[in-house]
Structure formats: structure tokens, C-alpha cells
Structure 1
Amino acid sequence: MLLCVSGGTVLASDELSAQELTPEEQQAAKTEVWEPVPEKVSAEPGQAPSDAVVLFDGTNLDAWEGEEGGSAPWKIEDGAVSVARGQGGIRTKDAFCDMQLHVEWRAPADTQGYDGQDRGNSGIFLQERYEVQVLDSWDNPTYANGQAASVYKQHIPLVNASRAPGEWQNYDIIFTAPRFDTNGELESPAYVSVLHNGVLVQNHVEIQGNTEWIGEPEYTAHDCAPLYLQDHDADVSYRNIWVRPLSGEPDSES
């Protein structure tokens, strides 16, 4: 600590600085918080942030496995990975809780003979349970809580921000995992926000439980879990997948 002499009195440098402030500045300083200092993160346009976990960069599926284990069966071509129809989905080898997720996806350009839920159907399952729908929703009527960017069968997107079939689209997803107590009872539900092609379409909506095709959703206790991409018998492709794990973990393991 530096010491300074002022009018014959020795003052610490912080005391001297305080004396130099106006009364208004001294009042304002009382609510200034200087620590902790946020870590520096670089985020170049089109690139994953420097603190992100890159799950797919167009070169390999080392971060993934088949839904029953073993090597991921999907095919990589031109920097994208495409569903291997009939061979099941793929999931990450790592488990995640709260996260920021970026995914780019493309529905097939050829829509001949396909409509509704049969057109470009796949899904991004957060923690293998909570689905953000992937679907070609360009001029393709279907039930609103099952169109692209819906929280499937739970929340209709605020708007339809879909691009034409064959064009690349992107989701940016902010997910807060549910919390369970030591008895496996739900303490707080999951929440999700989704930007579809840069447009906010889900604004911190409450997830009501596991995604169900038939019946009502309900929660079952679980810990952190993988990200899962669905094989729904459509030639959907993905690229540029990364995740930023966020602070906050479930309070207990299932």
C-alpha cells in the first residue's frame, strides 16, 4: 500500500483517492464491484469461442458414439455429418448440464413426396431427454408445437424463422438443467432459450419434462447427460457444433 503525506497527515493511497472523489462519486463507488474479474474469451466471427468444447468441426466424430455405444455410424462429407438413416442417432461421449449450444443443420433440398413431419425431421435432445425440433418448416404446415425450433410437444416457437430446404440454418440454445433433491424429487425445472437463424423463438421457457410423442411429459431424476442427435429417417446434415458448459450443476446424482 502506498503512503502519501497530506497536510502533515500520512494517508493510505486508497484513503487519498477517496478524498479526491466528489460526494456523488463516493456514493457511486459504494456499489462498484471489482472482483471477480471476468475471464477473457475470444469469439471471432464464424468461429467457436475460445472456451468452447468443439463437438464437431467437420473432420471427425471423435466426440461422438452411436446411441447404443460403439462408433458413431453417421457419414462425414464436405465438412458436414449426415444422418445414416436406419442406423440410429448419435450422442456425445461427454455429459453436460447447463450450457450454451451452437448447432448448424440442413434439411434435404429435395422435398418431392414429403410433407409435414416427414420433411427433414431430426431433433436435438438436450441431456438425451428434452428435444428442440429439427424440421423443414419452410412452407410446410404441421402441428405448431412440432415445427422447427419448437420444444417438441411443449412450446410453440414465437415465430417461424425457417430458411428454404437445402439451406444451412443455425440454432443457438441456452439451457438450464433441472435440479433434483437427494430423493430424486424435482426442485427446479429445466429452462431453454432458442435463437433460430439469429431470431429469438423460445424465450426462457420452462421445460415440462421428458419429451414424449404420446402422452404428457414428466420428469425423472438424472445427472448431467450427453447431447443426442436423432435419426428420424431423413437426410438431415449437421456442422459446426460446439458447446460452452456454464456454471451450475445439479445438486444430486440420480
Structure 2
Amino acid sequence: MSKLTLVELTNLPRKPHGCPPEVERSWARLVATHKSVAGLFTTLNELRSAQNDPRGPISEAHRDQVRAAIVFTAAGIDACLRTLLRDSLPTLLSTAGDAHGAFVSHFMSSRLTGEMTQATKKAVVDIDPRSALIDLYVEDLAGSSIQGAADLTRCRNALGLKKDPALDDAILKGHQPFFNARHEVVHELDLVDPSGKGSRGRRHRDLAAVGAQCDGALRLLHTFIAPTARAVRQVHRDLGWDKL
């Protein structure tokens, strides 16, 4: 293995201090995703080291391992952010602040303008309209999956983290190549010409580059989780919930 450049994830940063219940599930999903993706890279390294020449040609079987890592990482992003939004927003929206401002702005500029959709009407008259509206909000923010920097930006703003320098627009846009790769793998099987015409070859995937992309994406999730945990704890203190 010493002759082989390993594809590995860096260790996750430490769990947020005093991690509140509203963030626990998202953190657990991040840890599980990190473990799964790290396992894929371990298998990749073992497959390559078993070759007669570990530095020999990279096969499609090897590249399929990193393609799987892209899919697992993307699924983890979806699960972590959707859970973080769903679990933490009820608390964050309990006080005035950036998160509440983003919530009001979203509904005033979209769902409460013009003819309301049936889903919005049902949420308004629900036995628990606040929870129903938050559920709609999460669906609007995350859709069927997180597709790229624009979705990350909406999630950041919804959590009240727009002013966080570690999540500025340039940083989020820097992760767009990962999401482009996710789209190519999930929706096009990584074919050069997914229409089926012409070349049936598959895109080249640099193993180290994919490893770095997945690692960066998972560390980005921690950058969402940690300040959200702090914000939730602050709401607990402001409302006296930490004394209950």
C-alpha cells in the first residue's frame, strides 16, 4: 500500500459542543454518510493495491467506486440538510432574527401572492398550521434533492446563516462541480453521450479529485451544522428553555 496514493476522507471535525436535540439527527446522518463514503474509498484502495502493479491503469471498476462515493455523498447532503431544516427551524423561527426574516420573505414573495395553491391552503387551515407551513417551506427549499449552489444558498439563508463567512456565496459556488458530477452519474450513468448516439464511452473520473470533492462536501455539511447548533442553543437561552 505504500506505493499507492490513497484516496481517503479527512476526519470529521468534532461534534458541536452541547449539540442540541434539534441538531442531533442531522449530525448522526453526517457521521453515517462519512463512514459509508470512507468505506467505499477503503475498498477502492484495496482493489488497486491487489493489482500486480498498483500504479497501473485505473479500471472502470475502480471508477465505479468513486461514482458510488459521489452518489452516497450527495444522498448524505440531502438527508443532512433536509433533517437540519426540518428539526431546527421550529426552534429558530420561535424568535425574531435572520431565519424568521427569510421565512417571512419566502412566503410573502411566493406562496402568499396571487392565488394560493391547494397545498398552501391546506397548511393554513391545518390543526397545526405553523408546523404545516414549515413542512412546506422545507419542501420549497430542498425540493426532491439538493441540486447545487443555489439550493445550498437557500438552505443557508433559511437557517439564518447568510452572514456566516464560512458559507459565503463564493464558497458555496465552489462546490458546484461536485453537484455537476452527481448529475452526470445519477441521471446520465456518466456516459459521454447519454442520448445513446455516437460514443458509448464514460466520463473520465480522476480518483483523487473525486475524493477531494466528496471530502469537501462532507466538511461543508459540518459548516452548516455547527453554527446552526449554536443558534439553536442561543434560542434555548433567550426563551429560558435551557432552564426547564
Going by fraction, where is helix more abundant, 1 or 2? 2
Quick check: which has more Rg, 1 or 2? Answer: 1
TM range (shorter): under 0.3
Query: More strand by proportion, 1 or 2?
Result: 1
Larger RCO, structure (CA 8 Å, separation 6 or more): 2
State the TM-score, normalized to the length of structure 1: 0.27
